[in-house]
């Protein structure tokens, strides 16, 4: 849940709860005041009736008043009454001036009794009428408050959104950054809560950049320094092999040096595959041409293992660099050659889908499981290690380099099981140029 939604719900809940408590208290107090006011009206009416003059022979029955019932007695003789109470004998020896609640004419009534000299007056009002009238008045006063809650919710949401705009802008700015962009956030804000956040982020960027640069250059510098002594060792071992024929130890040493040289070269390539070094030099590149060059470079290995290879699909043009694309496709094709048994099949396809271009390679090797797919981009990780059934040697850096190059192109790499039985690798490039070449 977003901060905006959470704050809106919290504030609105507090407001609704406060309104409810205020409504409940106001309802009780309003009911009490309304009952007091209606009681005073009953008393006033009682005093008016008791002061009305009547003759000794007068016995008058008033019309029904559904909202008000009364009786007037003189010398304990009924002289005036509501029709609903004309047969009800309500006068007794304990007649006292007071307010009470009684059952009269089949209803619960609020009753006021008044006694003056030889006259007695009773005034009654149905409780249901009093309740309905009171609630109607109170609800008419409270209804605007209830209707204001949705409007209040909209206003709260709007002002919370306005208050969180600096955070939204900061989040949007960070989202647009590349993973290797450690420049300071140039943003002047007046909000005291945001200033420390930006300051801390800029400090963090500096520390991460320092660590990033140390990690980035260490491997390439170390590999560069190793090239000269490795070349010297290889020359000396080669000379020794010429002097000492069929030496198993020298042969093993030569193989070890070849493997170490391969690791050094891969580390140097890995050090060169950083996005900021390549974007400025991107040009339109034919992916078909690069793919054909890679197949030609590795064809001797393909032919040695008796593989069948095919290149299918129409060419597409992307903004790129020949070295990075050659390294990308070469590493993927080399893996397919390594781990596909002799006489196997390899298919490279150039595909186009809405908004993307896809370079796809399938092989008929043994494939890898999901756990291995999750680790395959880790540096120096090799499926099965040096004990892989293929017996192929490697540095475990090829797929790490592939991942780096795909990041340079803001692309996407997907590993799935191939219909041929081995591994399928899809490299997705965003479309930016129309096709210039057509594969025949």
pLDDT of 440 = 29
> Residue 337: pLDDT band by 50, 70, 90 thresholds?
very high
Q: Look up residue 5 and give its two tokens.
A: 């939604």
pLDDT of 172 = 78
3-class DSSP state for residue 109?
Answer: strand
Q: Are 273 and 324 in contact (CB under 8 A)?
A: yes
Q: Look up residue 120 and give its two tokens.
A: 């007695």
Alpha-carbon dihedral 403, 404, 410, 413, rounded to 10 degrees: -10
Q: Are 112 and 123 in contact (CB under 8 A)?
A: yes
φ/ψ (deg, to 5) at 390: -70, -20
Strand arrangement of the beta sheet that strand 412-417 belongs to: 308-313, 345-353, 356-363, 423-430, 412-417
Q: Look up residue 84 and give its two tokens.
A: 């609903």
Q: Look up residue 68 and give its two tokens.
A: 């008000």
> Parallel, antiparallel, or unpaired: how do β-strands 77-82 and 345-353 relate?
unpaired
d(CA 68, CA 104): 12
Contacts of 205 (CB under 8 A, 6+ apart): 182, 183, 184, 185
Q: Give per-residue pLDDT as tens, 204-248.
A: 888 877 776 666 665 555 565 566 676 777 777 777 767 676 677
> Residue 263: pLDDT band by 50, 70, 90 thresholds?
low
Q: Are 402 and 328 in contact (CB under 8 A)?
A: yes
Percent of the chain surpassing pLDDT 90? 17
User: Residue 180 has what DSSP assignment?
Assistant: T
φ/ψ (deg, to 5) at 126: -60, 135
Residue labelled with tokens 């192109």:
409
Q: Look up residue 349 and give its two tokens.
A: 């396809």
> Parallel, antiparallel, or unpaired: how do β-strands 317-320 and 98-104 relate?
unpaired
Q: Give per-residue pLDDT as tens, 136-146.
A: 777 777 777 77
* 114 pLDDT more than 70: yes
> Residue 195: pLDDT band by 50, 70, 90 thresholds?
confident
3-class DSSP state for residue 359?
Answer: strand
d(CA 428, CA 139): 65
Q: Look up residue 173 and give its two tokens.
A: 């700015």
d(CA 253, CA 328): 30
User: Residue 122 has what DSSP assignment?
Assistant: E
| Closest residue by Cα to residue 109 from 84, 138, 91, 73 | 84
* 62 pLDDT more than 80: no
3-class DSSP state for residue 35?
Answer: helix
> Residue 416: pLDDT band by 50, 70, 90 thresholds?
very high
In 296-337, beta strands by DSSP E: 308-313, 317-320
Burial bucket for residue 370 (CB in 10 Å: 0-12, 13-18, 19+):
exposed
How far CA 368 is from CA of 339, 371, 373, 394, 415, in Å, comes to: 10, 8, 7, 16, 9
Residue range 177-272 forms a domain whose CATH class is mainly alpha
Ordered alpha helix ranges (H), 176-247: 194-243
Ordered alpha helix ranges (H), 102-126: none
Lowest model confidence (mean pLDDT) among 6-10, 83-87, 405-409? 83-87
> Residue 436: pLDDT band by 50, 70, 90 thresholds?
very low
How far CA 279 is from CA of 12, 307, 322, 403, in Å, comes to: 50, 36, 12, 16
Contacts of 338 (CB under 8 A, 6+ apart): 390, 392, 394
Contacts of 291 (CB under 8 A, 6+ apart): 311, 329, 348, 350, 359
Averaged pLDDT score across all residues of the chain: 78
Lowest model confidence (mean pLDDT) among 82-86, 99-103, 119-123, 357-361? 82-86
d(CA 152, CA 23): 16
Q: Are 432 and 351 in contact (CB under 8 A)?
A: no
Q: Where are the domains of the chain?
A: 3-151, 177-272, 277-430
Averaged over 10-38, what is the pLDDT?
A: 82
Lowest model confidence (mean pLDDT) among 85-89, 210-214, 322-326, 376-380? 210-214
Architecture of the domain whose range is 3-151: 2-Layer Sandwich (3.30)
Architecture of the domain whose range is 277-430: 2-Layer Sandwich (3.30)
> Residue 271: pLDDT band by 50, 70, 90 thresholds?
low
Q: Which residues pair with 98 in a beta bridge?
A: 113
């Amino acid at each position: 849940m977003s901060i905006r939604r959470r704050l809106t719900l919290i504030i609105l809940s507090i407001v609704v709860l406060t309104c409810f408590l205020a409504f409940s208290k106001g309802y009780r107090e309003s009911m009490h005041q309304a009952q007091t006011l209606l009681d005073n009206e009953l008393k006033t009416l009682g005093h008016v009736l008791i002061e009305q003059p009547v003759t000794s022979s007068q016995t008058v029955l008033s019309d029904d008043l559904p909202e008000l019932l009364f009786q007037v007695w003189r010398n304990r003789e009924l002289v005036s009454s509501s029709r609903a109470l004309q047969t009800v004998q309500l006068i007794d020896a304990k007649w006292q001036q007071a307010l009470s609640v009684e059952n009269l004419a089949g209803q619960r009534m609020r009753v006021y009794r008044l006694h003056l000299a030889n006259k007695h007056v009773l005034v009654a009002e149905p409780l249901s009428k009093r309740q309905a009238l009171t609630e109607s008045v109170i609800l008419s006063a409270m209804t605007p408050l209830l209707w204001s809650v949705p409007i209040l919710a909209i206003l709260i949401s709007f002002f919370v959104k306005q208050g969180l705009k600096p955070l939204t802008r900061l989040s949007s700015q960070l989202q647009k950054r590349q993973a290797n962009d450690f420049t300071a956030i140039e943003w002047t804000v007046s909000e005291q809560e945001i200033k420390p956040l930006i300051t801390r982020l800029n400090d963090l960027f500096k520390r991460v950049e320092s660590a990033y640069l140390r990690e980035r250059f260490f491997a390439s510098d170390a590999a560069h320094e190793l090239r000269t002594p490795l070349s010297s060792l290889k020359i000396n071992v080669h000379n020794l092999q010429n002097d000492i024929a069929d030496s198993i130890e020298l042969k093993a040493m030569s193989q070890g040096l070849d493997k170490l040289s391969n690791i050094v070269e891969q580390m140097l390539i890995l050090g060169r595959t950083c996005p900021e070094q390549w974007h400025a030099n991107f040009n339109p590149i034919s992916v078909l041409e690069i793919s054909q060059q890679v197949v030609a470079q590795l064809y001797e290995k393909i032919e040695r293992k008796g593989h069948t290879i095919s290149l299918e699909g129409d060419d597409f043009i992307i903004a790129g660099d020949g070295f990075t694309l050659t390294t990308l496709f070469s590493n993927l094709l080399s893996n397919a050659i390594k781990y596909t048994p002799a006489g196997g099949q390899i298919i490279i396809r150039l595909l186009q889908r809405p908004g993307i271009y896809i370079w796809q390679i399938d092989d008929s090797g043994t494939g890898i499981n999901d756990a291995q797919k999750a680790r395959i981009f880790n540096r120096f990780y090799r499926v099965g290690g040096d004990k892989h059934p293929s017996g192929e040697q490697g540095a475990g850096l090829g797929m790490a380099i592939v991942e780096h190059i795909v990041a340079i192109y803001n692309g996407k790499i997907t590993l799935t099981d191939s219909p041929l039985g081995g591994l399928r690798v899809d490299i997705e490039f965003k479309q930016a140029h129309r096709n210039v070449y057509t594969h025949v």
